[in-house]
Amino acid sequence: MLRAHLHYSSGVLLFAPIRGLVSFIGGAVTAAILVIPDWSLQAASPVRAPDARPRLLDSSFQFTEGPAADSKGNVYFTDQPNDRIMIWTTDGRLETFMQPAGRSNGLYFDLRGNLLACADEKNQLWEIDSEKNVVVLVKDLGGKLLNGPNDLWVDPNGGVYFTDPFYKRDYWGRDEKQIEKENVYYLPPNRSEVRVAAGGFIRPNGMIGSPDGRRLYVADLGGRQTYVYEIGTNGVLSNRKPFVSMGSDGMTMDAEGNVYLTGRGVTVFDSEGKQIDQIPINKGWTANVCFGGERFRTLFITAMDSLFALDMKVGGAQ
């Protein structure tokens, strides 16, 4: 089996394609031998539109991450090595929203329509309004730099959960952690002091919560596990349970409660953790995913230097 260590937006990850090899040196793709999936062999899907295949929208990036849709379905995503946030509009236009952008990674919209960003350059959490004004919501924890906010989710009350794994960046001026543990944190709706929401991970990464605000799914990419928590009063997490024996870089959820994990394409699980679909992507590592478009029935997929779209029969969770 061929193996490659991936370095960039998601840190060092183990990726083992069956018939191909992708390798990175300093964030650049140095080799890629990939086989395009034979979609004629794919079984009927409970979530994809009939005969739908991922469409390549654009491949003019260096490494794509963090897709998030606004209230109209426009999809914002990051091209982290080029330090920019891009937009794929509902009418099919590609625009630059912000550059530079604090080396933003994961993105999510808050209840007021502001774009929240895991600003990796200085290990911060940002709020960006429509005029591109930036407010730093979290700059440190007790005077210590965070490891590197990576992915986030906003609960129905406006509280923000985010993962904080440590992936050494060549643009940092430090080599070591200032906070030893790699945790999930919670910033309450009143934006008061951030607190640890959950620990016990090797390297937490992707996350998504249910629209009713009762469950939070957190992927421990380093531990190759995804867990589900109950969300209680004031954002307190409890009753951690294994969901699936698979980590994930990014995650999303559809309106039927199915959970979408990324890495080797997109793997879809129902709410009980049973795999119901596998969506291959012919670009190597698949970093992240979200629903967008006019009816939120398009799955947008960031993979390596590309952005893909896939027509779905289910809509995204709202």
Q: What pLDDT band is residue 131 in, cutting at 50, 70 and 90?
A: very high
Residue 114, pLDDT above cutoff 80: yes
For residues 285 and 265, give the distance between their C-alpha atoms in angstroms, rounded to a whole number.
7
The arithmetic mean of pLDDT across residues 260-278, rounded, is: 97
For residues 181 and 165, give the distance between their C-alpha atoms in angstroms, rounded to a whole number.
9
DSSP 126-153: EEE-TT--EEEEE--BTTB--S----EE
Residue-wise pLDDT for 76-88, tens only, equals: 999 999 999 999 9
Residue-wise pLDDT for 215-262, tens only, equals: 999 999 999 999 999 999 999 999 999 999 999 999 999 999 999 999
Domains, the chain, ordered by start = 4-36+44-311 (2.120.10.30)
Residue-wise pLDDT for 54-71, tens only, equals: 999 999 999 999 999 999
- Per the model's pLDDT, the better-predicted residue between 142 and 44 turns out to be 142
Total-model pTM: 0.88
Residue 18, pLDDT above cutoff 70: no
pLDDT score for 284: 86
The arithmetic mean of pLDDT across residues 204-222, rounded, is: 97
| Mean confidence (pLDDT) of the chain | 89
pLDDT score for 37: 52
Q: What pLDDT band is residue 42 in, cutting at 50, 70 and 90?
A: low
Q: What pLDDT band is residue 30 in, cutting at 50, 70 and 90?
A: very low
From the number of C-beta atoms within 10 Å of its C-beta (0-12, 13-18, 19+), residue 242 rates as exposed
Helices (DSSP H) in the chain: which residue ranges?
none
